[in-house]
Amino acid sequence: MINEIIFKGFLGIDPEIIKNLPSESLSGINSMITILQALGVLFIIYVVFLIVSIISNLLRNRRIKKTYYKVYEIDEKLDYLIERSQKGNVVKEKTDKKEDKLGEKKKEKVKKKVKKKKKKEKK
């Protein structure tokens, strides 16, 4: 009966033709229908598996994207801190250079004073 519905509904074959066929050909057709049904079930299982894997991949990609943005924010903050610390070192170096220049100027003034005193003593 199921085979008659399948042949009539899907294939458009008249059930009277099926009744007139010999039983050997019907057994081959029945086995073929059973194989097609099994393949249909396997195909449905495969489609369900694909849907589940697509959903899990979307969720995983969303987590990866969130992690990427967090890492990117951390990288920006680290870059800011590094720039800030380097600027601090540059300021320190500049002040050290200024102090060195001030020290050199004082030394030059002292040398000039010593030279003036020596000149006065010579006279």
Place 62 in a pLDDT band, splitting at 50, 70 and 90.
very high
Return the SS3 of 1.
Answer: coil
Mean pLDDT estimate for the chain: 76
Largest CA distance in the chain: 149
Quick check: 46 and 38 in contact, CB under 8 A?
no
The range of the structural domain enclosing residue 11 comes to: 2-122
Q: Is the dihedral of CA 103, 108, 109, 113 positive or negative?
A: positive
pLDDT digit string, tens, across residues 31-41: 888 899 999 99
Provide the pLDDT for residue 67.
92
**Helical H segments across the chain, by residue range:** 2-6, 15-20, 23-122
Domains identified in the chain, total number: 1
Provide the pLDDT for residue 105.
65
> What value does the mean pLDDT take over residues 42-62?
97
Provide the pLDDT for residue 49.
98
